[in-house]
Structure 1
Amino acid sequence: MSLVLAVAAAFGYGVASVLQASGARRAPGVLQTLRAPAYLTGVCLDLVSWLLSVAALRVLPVYQVQAILAGSLAVTVVAARIRLEARLRGRDVAAVAVTVVALAALAAAAGPQDPAAPSAATRLALALAAVPVALAGWAAARRRAPNLTGAVAGLAFGGAALCARAVTVSGSLLLEPLVWALVVFGVTGTLLYAQALEHGQVGPVTALLWIAEVIVPSAAGVLLLGDHVRPGWAPVAGTAVTATVAAAAVLAHAPATAAATQ
């Protein structure tokens, strides 16, 4: 069931990007865009997708969920081809196929996971990490370095995923540091990605975002939160994650992706 939630989140993110682009194209200005039905539907779908990904992270390993979410670029490319009539290159078709195969392999390699039970020190470190990531993003944005800003945005979104996986709420949500850190990570990532897209090219920015968002938190999930793969399946999982990131880098440069983020 959790795997279904993660896949649904990826589909939601992919379709939401195209809906928002479609609404923006048909509106004459920013205020009209914010009121456009297609744009509003996309924003709502983004929120639902985020909630689905958080629910999936409560059970699935970080590396699996993040790789599946990176596959949302494949959904964006296909949906943009259908709705926006964007051009689809041969390499984009190949990248979509690689994404599907890699995610299927990753689903088989992950296997059942124990609930994350990080130590108090690990939970505190994850919560405090939101501060230096936000400061690094602020510095990159001030330097007008969009590629670096996109990479830090990926780290922020990855930090949010780690917090969602590690959080254990036994009392009030307001008293749980990881909940606040999750919010800070999420807001930081959203603002930094928007700033990076404003000053940089969508392809490199998005590619670096997904590379940072998949690789770093996946490693942290294994080292800090006890995420694991089936015995003997580590090479398959590693290859699948690498293939998903490589496909995302190709799709980030696709004309359809550019059409869906303008």
Structure 2
Amino acid sequence: MYFHHSDEVWGRFPELRALVLVLRQAGNAGLNAGALDSTYAEVAALQAERAESEVPSLQAWRQTYAEMGLKPTQYRCAAEALLRRFRKEGCLPHVLPLIDALNAESMHAAIPIAAFDCACLRGGVVVRPANGLEAYQAFSGEIERPAVGEIIFADEDHQAHSRRWVFRQGAQSVISPTTDTVLMVAEALHPQAWEDLQALRDRIGIRMGEMGVAIAEEDILSPSNRRFEFSL
């Protein structure tokens, strides 16, 4: 399988950097009670110091959404959406141990993280403008058709696995208790993206080790290193 961004995306956003991990044995993931408490406390402390609008990584995504013709306050990247919910409610709903852990690390880094069940991907995934042929399955069960030009995660069967780039993932490739292999992608566009993605990788590595999940393959993509290939 493979993952990459289209030339159109790189041409518009050359500052983009993407951490890509292949996680195996995801179905074995487990979290001890309170395992994420320290991360949540660190996130709360960071939020007490500054608003989401002042975080460089989120500022960069807001600017990107504006450049795509979308209102940044209407369509927020997934990391900002998580942080705003955490600020309002003081917690996040439990989903699955792996998702809970990745959501916590996404908030801590203020970088959006996508996670896909590889068994539900066909051929590979490209982040590219939609061509009008793609179908996106919402969690409501509704099938949506991304507008031509909207940046999406798409596989070879013209299935869109996200809407508006990192705004929302789809239901078709969601992680479940039976998931074994996961494609995880974290994307950043701010000046310190490379360093922050490396720090995120280190934190996720420790967390996955605690949870019994293996990082089988990994890379950080950039304009000079655009394609990631991996085996199932």
User: TM-score, normalization: structure 2?
Assistant: 0.28
The structure richer in helix per residue is 1
Q: Which has the higher contact order (CA 8 A, sep 6+)?
A: 2
The structure richer in strand per residue is 2
Q: Which has the larger radius of gyration?
A: 1
